[in-house]
Amino acid sequence: LGEGFWSLTRYEDVAAAAARPQIFSNTGRPRFGDKSAPPIEVDRPEHTVFRRMLQPYFRPDKVSNLESAAKRLANELAGPLVKAGRADLSKSFTYPYPARVLCEFLGLPPDDADALKGWADEIFDAMPERENDPARVDRAEASLTKYARDLVADRRARGLDADQDLITGLVTHNFEGHMLDPEEVLSIVRLLLSAGHNSTTSSLGIVLLHIAREPAIQTRLRADQSLIPKAIEEFLRHESPVMATKRTALSDVEIGGRQIHAGEQVFLVWSSANRDVEHYPNPEEVILEREARDHLVFGRGVHRCLGSPIALMELRVAVETFFELTTWFELDGPVERASWERYGVTRLPMRMHARELVNQREGI
């Protein structure tokens, strides 16, 4: 980050800054390629146009249409692992599953998921703030851009139904007089190809880890599966996978007695706000009854995560699938975590007790 930055860590400050996009801008140094990626890296009024264009594809009916595919994919991946009895779920489940669901959502061949995931990870890992390997970033960028370019060309040629297919919608829609140019389409597709699965992978690791290491919670959730959605949001409040996102101050502003000057970078630290003791009593504890729907796991304000309904559906389906296939699961060795600024689980060894085997033993 070079020149230094401010961090807002209290709930009240983070939420207030997220609600003032006219002062805390999302433009600045692009993070998802060499150009600003709409909608996340543009401000109003452009942002509104992109957001309205994308929103219909994330409606509840679209998400519920995707659910049966998510269920099939979760079963395909988890089935053999549960049968084997042990596996590192980070490699064999939390990593591939969200990318496959994303392929389904965007109408891409399922076999492309691994390549997409690989490029997105290369770019993230080799960025200046991590391994700082510009050549690796360039290589992966070039592959991802070529993929997105071919995809856009394919959709132009095929003439699919724009209401059903998001990418066809982007290349054909004329929205309020704004026709996207090919580079804009490319940036949006590239953003979705990377933003649409990495955070879900981290979240899935966090959720499965919580359930595996806290037997009382696992017992409760198995007994009353209607608690699963709320539990997922509480796990993610407790450990928020997207720890922070950056803004640039557009004018001088004072927060907590400190003067932030125009042009300075400001991190909204969602993960810290989600553990602010002034907002959540006993924030270090996972409390399933907690009323914490106002958490900042998916951000706040105009840039609030567009994909959150898909992500929450995917996470629920994954937990339900593991509950269906097993009578119990528990950790099977040391866990490894990734830190800043994506807070995931990179090693998640699990021992799983297959329901089928138990049923066979008991003659059911």
Do the beta carbons of residue 217 and residue 289 sit within 8 Å? no
Instruction: Report the nearest approach of ligand HEM to the CB of residue 59 (Å).
Output: 13
Instruction: Report the nearest approach of ligand HEM to the CB of residue 103 (Å).
Output: 11
Measured from the CB atom, the residue of 15 and 306 that comes closer to ligand HEM is 306
Measured from the CB atom, the residue of 170 and 354 that comes closer to ligand HEM is 170
Do the beta carbons of residue 10 and residue 277 sit within 8 Å? no
24: which strand partners? 249
Do the beta carbons of residue 24 and residue 247 sit within 8 Å? yes
Whether the bond between 76 and the residue before it is cis, its omega within 30 degrees of 0, is no
Residues 6+ apart with CB under 8 A from 41: 26, 27, 28, 30, 31, 32
Calpha distance 117→115 (Å, rounded): 5
Instruction: Report the nearest approach of ligand HEM to the CB of residue 20 (Å).
Output: 12
Instruction: Report the nearest approach of ligand HEM to the CB of residue 333 (Å).
Output: 25
Query: Which residue ranges make up the site for ligand HEM (CB under 6 A)?
Result: 26, 39-40, 51, 102, 191-192, 195-196, 199-200, 203, 241-242, 245, 270, 297-299, 303, 305-307, 310-311
Q: In what order do the strands lie in the sheet with 24-25?
A: 6-8, 265-268, 245-249, 24-25
Measured from the CB atom, the residue of 145 and 245 that comes closer to ligand HEM is 245
Instruction: Report the nearest approach of ligand HEM to the CB of residue 328 (Å).
Output: 25
Q: Which residue is nearest to ligand HEM (CB)?
A: 307
DSSP string, 280-324: SSSTTS--TT---TT--TT--GGG--TTHHHHHHHHHHHHHHHHH
Measured from the CB atom, the residue of 221 and 268 that comes closer to ligand HEM is 268
Measured from the CB atom, the residue of 117 and 303 that comes closer to ligand HEM is 303
Measured from the CB atom, the residue of 201 and 218 that comes closer to ligand HEM is 201
Instruction: Report the nearest approach of ligand HEM to the CB of residue 183 (Å).
Output: 17
